Structure 1
């Protein structure tokens, strides 16, 4: 339900369809009235104030990342059938997102050896080439569905390039990505959950074979970096199950979130064309600010789970041990105590980088430089071709039904090379 003056915070339901479409009214109420709130119906604690979200992010000893999968439990009705499908693949291994130290430090160190700043910087020419190809394919002066035509394929093809996925498997790659994110903060029916399990096993078998190939025949790619990372400091080698888990996280973090960010930023630019004009006039000077403010305002990763290892005191509230906690980045990034006029898109905002869109602490997103780079390149290349962008009339502005990943299902835009008359 939508928050109204007569409603109370006890009525907040993160999975209510109206709340999934626009959670900001509820977040504002929660920040003011109950910044640490127990949603009893869902069995989860929601933390919405920026100071408290940051405090929890930096206290991994109390707020553990070992919460399991970032999704709701499998229903008992199909639990055995899902387990039977999963037995054909590799069991989940807690690595980056869902591990605590010392295991987390080991996995992060191993990925950092392969996913270096130099490796990311080397990707810029490829990212620009992909972006320019997609920009040239967009129509001039007629409506285009921007998510399908640009915002989704750009990061998908970039992360496919990173993982050396051949062109004839891109459709499979996209299908796997969609399947993995369908239950991140959202729900599927029994048939959907079974299909998701089948897709996970198919994904695992494909990449396990690729990893075996890299062990036998190393290449200049991230997969080779992962299977050989242990050689740098004589570390314990990464197992296949662990690498598969890391690849899933790269696929979701490096694809879905960037899609949602790019589409959301273009929505804001279409609404406020003066920002587009400034971007066109000085792209390198303005693209970075646009992306940082987009990260703050849009927060494609709206929230992340933690679980309390002991009884926790946070903001004067007591959270019992063993409780599932939701740290709401999307609310923290609109906290009035930190950001003036927080619901406005303001690329000149002096403290835009104070956002928590990539988390903080030991679990801060390792792929943040790549997300920033490809999003910055995206807006620069779009502005290089088109003089203007506007919203088409055929828009419902519907968001994906998730309280963890927030972005448009579709976005119809009209780009023009010359000024509209």
Structure 2
């Protein structure tokens, strides 16, 4: 087993580049240096301010009047050489409306209210039988005693199928559903080439046309699914109905948040369990309650959504640093969640950590993740069932431990494991 990149011996903060390939593979030594030397740091080459200390990240999250979420799209822009072609493809679809992630009050409150009416605690609780059934099917298909690529065989299809069921996506369109989700995530904190940018734009248009037709169908033929909930959400309080463009933006965010983050959480957690059998044994001793503790520490330690943008609406003072108005700010949750000032031995994975649940993996304040309960539920069920079914989980020999090239979404590309039966 070989690491794709080694931690740098030194991390001079003046050389920090979030989009450097090696930095994206091994970011945490850089974040440690930034927390110590400059917890609010301007990366001139990228035009971004990076906030890495937990107290400062939390402070910015709670001050939405200054640290605005109206920053545009979280994706990096397409290469200039194909920008016109990308815009031409986008013009054939619907404008991406700022809704949950990229809107400020009062618009944000309206969109969150509408989604909350569809994405209720009851709706989440009703997913449990489906989640258990999907977990069982996927585990039944895992080979025992021989290497398996865990991302493709379990970590990716689990959240994909859970969300597809909630949106009533038929089995015949699951492959398209996966492709759309993967395409949307490619430019979140990462850059792609000309061909990739054009393929992403085509996938966006295809996604929009499919779900626009499904939304129109729900307006006349309601079903027991999340799409119907979005269409009917305005009925509860005489709100304006969601436009098709707004609903498409919300569904796209659900796709990315639900699929990408849960996939990376499950993969990273199994990597930790296989790398340190002590925690595997600990989980097996009492899988029910300990799976919940494990999920919280994994969220803290792994932080699949490593960071999120804000833009300053006015000059801001943060931790003794002055950030000019109109600045693009990156709140680094992945650094905040390992801050030694808040988490003792923050760089160590410890599911018995008493304050693990104070992590910022789901954000904080008005923009905290609406899907957190669903993400926790499916991760807990999966880990509990894995611990009860298998006697051990080990890292196979051919792991390169390569991470996706993004400073915003962090997760292993692949993970080869060997499971042994009880």
Same fold by TM-score greater than 0.5: yes
- The residue aligned with 2:249 is 245
Match of 1:78 in 2: 82
Q: Deviations over 1:161-186 (max 9, x none)?
A: 11110001000000000000000001
- Aligned with 1:409 (options 400, 409, 413): 413
RMSD over aligned CA atoms reads: 1.1
Q: Conserved in 1, the CA contact under 8 Å of 2:11 and 2:29?
A: no
User: How far apart, in 2, do the equivalents of 1:123 and 1:7 lie?
Assistant: 45
Contact kept in structure 2, 1:3 and 1:26, CA below 8 Å: no
SS at match of 2:340: coil
2:164 to 136, 160, 166: 160
Relative to structure 1, is the Cα distance of residues 5 and 415 closer, same or farther in structure 2, using a 3 angstrom cutoff? Answer: closer
Structure-2-length-normalised TM-score = 0.97
1:382 corresponds to which of 381, 386, 397: 386
* 1:173-322 equivalent positions in 2, closer than 5 A: 173-322=177-326
Matched, 1:107 2:138: no
Please say if 1:336 is aligned against 2:340: yes
Q: Which stretch of structure 1 is more off in the superposition, 297-306 or 266-275? A: 266-275
Contact 2:117 2:229 in 1 (8 A): yes
Runs of 5+ unmatched residues, structure 1: none
Distance in 1 (CA, whole Å) between partners of 2:366 and 2:60 is: 12
Instruction: State the SS of the aligned residue for 1:78.
Output: helix
Task: Please give the alpha-carbon distance, in whole angstroms, between the structure 1 residues aligned to 2:182 and 2:14.
Answer: 33
1:6 and 1:212 map into 2 onto residues whose CA distance is 56
SS at 1:389 equivalent: strand
Distance (Å, rounded) in 2 between the aligned partners of 1:80 and 1:410: 34
Moved more, 11-20 or 65-74: 65-74
3-state SS, counterpart of residue 284 of structure 1: helix
CA distance in 1 between counterparts of 2:331 and 2:11 reads 23
1:64 aligns with 2:64: no
* Rounded Cα–Cα distance in structure 1 between residues aligned with 2:255 and 2:370: 13
Count of residues paired in the alignment: 418
Q: Alpha-carbon deviation of 1:6?
A: 5.4
- Equivalent position to 1:88, from 66, 69, 92: 92
1:226, distance to aligned residue in structure 2 (A): 0.2
Q: What is the match of residue 139 of structure 1?
A: 143
Q: Is the 8 A contact 1:2 1:19 kept in 2?
A: no
Structure 1 position 76, deviation (Å) = 3.0
Q: Distance in 1 between matches of 2:197 and 2:331?
A: 25
SS in structure 1 of the partner of residue 143 of structure 2: coil
Q: In the superposition, relative to structure 1, how do residues 129 and 7 fare at CA in structure 2: closer, same or farther (>3 Å)? A: closer
Q: Is 1:148 matched up with 2:152?
A: yes
1:5 Cα deviation after fit? 5.9
Distance 2:269 2:157 in 1: 16
Q: Please report how far the alpha carbon of residue 8 of structure 1 lies from its aligned counterpart in structure 2 after TM superposition.
A: 2.1
Query: Deviation string for 1:327-375 (max 9, x for gaps)?
Result: 0000000000011111111111000011000000100000000000011
Structure-2 change in CA distance of 1:310 and 1:18 (3 Å): same
Q: Which secondary structure state, in structure 1, belongs to the residue aligned with residue 414 of structure 2?
A: coil
- Name the TM-score, length of structure 1 as normaliser: 0.98
Query: Any idea what the Cα deviations from partners look like across 1:95-147, whole Å, max 9, x if unmatched?
Result: 00000000000000000000000100010010000001000100111000000
Once the two structures are TM-superposed, the CA of residue 275 in structure 1 deviates from its matched residue by 1.9
Unpaired runs of at least 5, structure 2: none
Partner of 2:24: 20
Per-residue CA shift, 1:218-238, capped at 9, x if unaligned?
A: 001100000000011111100
